[in-house]
Chains A and B, each alone.
Chain A
Amino acid sequence: KQEVTQIPAALSVPEGENLVLNCSFTDSAIYNLQWFRQDPGKGLTSLLLIQSSQREQTSGRLNASLDKSSGRSTLYIAASQPGDSATYLCAVRPWSSNTGKLIFGQGTTLQVKP
């Protein structure tokens, strides 16, 4: 059974720091991995999608990497800003699923202090 874990559960950093959020999954047979951002009381905003054949994806100050063999993905945020404060969720789509279902981690809540 696929399980997704995100560590740490919460993170507080000063503005301007570069930071890394971690996501691990137990079964390397995945179709893709997706990183989301969630603001309090809001829905999920897709940040980056990495296909199983890719090693990384970049969007602006965000860079996500994928290492299927070790069951890990990282989300790198460069030059963090207070506006980056949110909960970040990673989710995998298992190869075994023909439904498009996503398996989510519990998220990392990030606070960037001015």
Chain B
Amino acid sequence: DGGITQSPKYLFRKEGQNVTLSCEQNLNHDAMYWYRQDPGQGLRLIYYSQIVNDFQKGDIAEGYSVSREKKESFPLTVTSAQKNPTAFYLCASTPSYVTATSVEAFFGQGTRLTVV
């Protein structure tokens, strides 16, 4: 079955640590996204990538970094510079916004990150 796989499901980070969240998709989508979800707030865009080897900052990119070396993979690193990283992180993908006629977004199951 095609879909988006996020791992791990739960992640605990100590103060000062960098941690990396994995996102893999087999939908052959060109674009991938990372969103953050906090209680009482809508999802907010962290980073997005329209094509391999290219990515752009979203609305709340400070303290995060990404890479896009393969079409299928878009890992997110939460660095020690992110002051409040405890949240639910969701990865999404879509067909190319430029070429597709129906750009439906698909999401993974999420990773819950907690600072300990």
Contacts and interface: CB of A to CB of B under 8 A. Distances in A.
Contacts, number: 64
Nearest to A107: B42
A14 interface: no
Interface stretch (B63-71, B78-86, B107-115): B107-115
B11 to A, nearest CB: 14
Nearest to B40: A106
A105 B43 CA distance: 8
Contacts of A102: 43, 45, 92, 105
A43 B109 contact: yes
Describe A's contact surface by its main secondary structure.
strand
A45 B109 CA distance: 9
B42 A44 contact: no
Contacts of B45: 101-102
A104 to B, nearest CB: 4
B50 interface: yes
Contacts of A89: 42-43
A32 interface: yes
Chain A residues touching B, range: 20 to 34
Query: What is the size category of the interface that chain B forms with chain A?
Result: 20 to 34
Nearest to A44: B107
A104 B44 CA distance: 8
A67 to B, nearest CB: 20
A107 B43 CA distance: 10
B97 interface: yes
A89 B35 CA distance: 14
13 contacts: A4-B42, A34-B104, A34-B105, A43-B6, A43-B107, A46-B106, A51-B102, A91-B105, A98-B98, A99-B48, A101-B58, A104-B42, A106-B41
Given A41-B112, A46-B104, A104-B42, 11 more contacts: A32-B102, A43-B108, A44-B92, A46-B105, A46-B107, A89-B43, A93-B103, A98-B98, A99-B48, A100-B97, A101-B45
